[in-house]
């Protein structure tokens, strides 16, 4: 396991765009999915690369790992087609945005309550 981490860190340090990006093969390895399947997710618009190297190689941020696994689970375990997966991912993103907004508003209300008591 330590060898794998070292190998990924070495590859990442060679990225001219940024150390925090993963190559397609790194993403495939970390998500335990075949690189061609990852490429298919990209082609279908379900997974977005963060950047491209001058060679055309796709680079992904670390959030792509759980997203790729989520896409695979929705397809394999729940039998959702790719169009449906896109919709599910959009709705999950929207839910996350709304939950963040609720937290922000609660924090603001708590701050106002605190100020009103003094």
pLDDT at 83 over 80: yes
pLDDT value for 118: 65
pLDDT at 30 over 70: yes
pLDDT at 64 over 90: yes
Q: How confident is the model at residue 6 (pLDDT cuts 50, 70, 90)?
A: very low
Beta bridge partners of 60: 22
pLDDT value for 113: 73
| CATH number of the CATH domain containing 39 | 1.10.1660.10
pLDDT value for 18: 53
pLDDT value for 23: 96
In total, how many domains does the chain have? 1
Whether 82 contacts 44, CB under 8 Å: yes
Residue 23's domain spans which residues?
2-116
pLDDT value for 56: 87
Task: Read off the pTM.
Answer: 0.73
- Segment 23-50 shows an average pLDDT of 97
CA separation for the pair 15, 8 (Å, rounded):
11
Torsion on CA atoms 14, 15, 21, 26, rounded to nearest 10: -60
């Amino acid at each position: 396991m330590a060898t794998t981490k070292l190998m990924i860190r070495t590859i990442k340090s060679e990225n001219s765009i940024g150390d925090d990006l993963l190559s397609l093969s790194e993403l495939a390895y970390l998500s335990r999915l075949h690189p061609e399947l990852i490429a298919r997710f990209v082609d279908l618009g379900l997974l977005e690369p963060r950047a491209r190297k001058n060679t055309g190689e796709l680079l992904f941020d670390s959030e792509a790992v759980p997203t790729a696994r989520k896409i695979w689970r929705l397809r394999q375990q729940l039998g959702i087609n790719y169009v449906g997966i896109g919709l599910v991912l959009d709705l999950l993103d929207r839910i996350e945005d709304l939950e963040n907004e609720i937290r922000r508003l609660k924090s603001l209300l708590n701050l106002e309550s605190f100020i009103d008591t003094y």
